[in-house]
Structure 1
């Protein structure tokens, strides 16, 4: 079965972020989206207090004073700024972000998000600013593998892990497909793998609605 790589997933998410948007990229895989913005004017935000981030620095050009919330080195574009994290959270909670891109352990059919704790013994809970982002951003994109390492769907009828936010996810981008959360269920907009809709349905934990447009059936 063909799957998108994480870098290809990030490239696909970046395509759907419009010019002029203010965007937060969550810790981990979502940070790869920054490398696919190109020359478009998209203003990237990090909850530790950075606005106007660029792509990751070249090896040897890291600045120890410039990191994102995941402690990864970042660059700062012309006009960018860094500031107190309280001001940063004010931006998040005040509805000033157009989009955020988050990873997830589970997403429910109604758009509930669980991405901070699995309940596993010894696991370190690390919700960070995810709750504020999930509720504060105007649109929440989730970027994740479709299946767990055990082959179970991360898209579920009801989240079994502690929730980050309820009914907050707008779209789900996986290594197999892109799905949009609607009032009537999950709409499959694109399939990237070499599988068909029926096989995607078998792999996914909830009923799906096939609403692909022409050109949305493959990579």
Structure 2
């Protein structure tokens, strides 16, 4: 499944000893694919450190959940604490990486993830703090929306969560690095061609000809 591919690909970015915050949805799934021998400290913004894979059916604890109210497991040595402490970690620059979903991201690394005019959504939550407080920002999302419309755009059209913060974009089609001069294609998903990615991406890809 495309979302499983994205989650697995996210986990490849984890480095030993990192403190990583995972956003709800696809990013959280990457906790199930941490490479063997890689030890990362997963943090959830509602107040938890050192959580592990999703619990098996029937084994979840209703008192232990992530920021999206999804059940999680806590690893030995893990801790729970109040939200103020959690955001002190985030705002203080103590989190190495955050992985977030998005409605749109553009070629300048700006992210729109919290509002669609005229629709009721859950709001921004802690996304703004995470995007400016963490050392590295990865955007993980499907390449297009349910209507086939590009989500990687020249300029975001929806209200921004943060401007110019994304470092890496991982989709079910490709992986892009955000540089000062634009988007660089770093990897194609299995079975995907550069022509397909170009067609489904509104943003300009600096090095697309190297892949065609």
Q: TM-score, normalised by structure 2?
A: 0.94
Following TM superposition, by how much is the alpha carbon of 1:38 offset from its aligned partner in structure 2, in angstroms? Answer: 4.5
Q: Which residue of 1 aligns with 2:66?
A: 68
**Residue aligning to 2:187:** 190
Cα pair 2:131 2:137 within 8 Å, conserved: yes
Aligned to 2:48: 50
Q: Distance in 1 between matches of 2:115 and 2:167?
A: 21
The answer as to whether partners of 2:6 and 2:140 remain within 8 angstroms in 1 is yes
Q: Distance in 1 between matches of 2:199 and 2:62?
A: 47
User: Unmatched 5+ residue regions in structure 1?
Assistant: none
In the TM superposition, residue 60 of structure 1 has moved relative to its aligned partner by 1.4
Task: Determine the C-alpha separation between the residues in 1 that align with 2:178 and 2:72.
Answer: 32
> Shift in Å at residue 195 of structure 1?
3.7
What is the rounded CA distance, in whole Å, between the counterparts of 1:153 and 1:27 in structure 2?
A: 21
1:171/1:179 contact within 8 Å kept: yes
Matched residue of 1:142: which SS? strand
Task: State how many pairs are aligned.
Answer: 210
Any stretches of 5+ residues in structure 2 without a counterpart? Answer: none
- Structure 1 Cα separation of the partners of residues 52 and 179 of structure 2: 32
Question: Does structure 1 retain, via aligned residues, the 8 Å contact 2:11–2:35?
Answer: no
1:110-158 deviations in Å (ceiling 9; x for gaps)? 0000011111x24234110001001111000011011111211101111
Secondary structure of the 1:208 match is coil
Q: Is 1:190–1:212's contact at 8 Å kept on the other side of the alignment? A: no
Q: For 2:60 and 2:142, how far apart are their aligned partners in 1?
A: 29
4+ long deviations beyond 6 Å: none
Partner of 1:59: 57
Please, which of 69, 80, 85 is the counterpart of residue 82 of structure 1?
A: 80
TM-score for the superposition, normalised by structure 1: 0.91
Distance across 1 between alignment mates of 2:104 and 2:5: 21
The question of 1:147 aligning with 2:107 is answered no
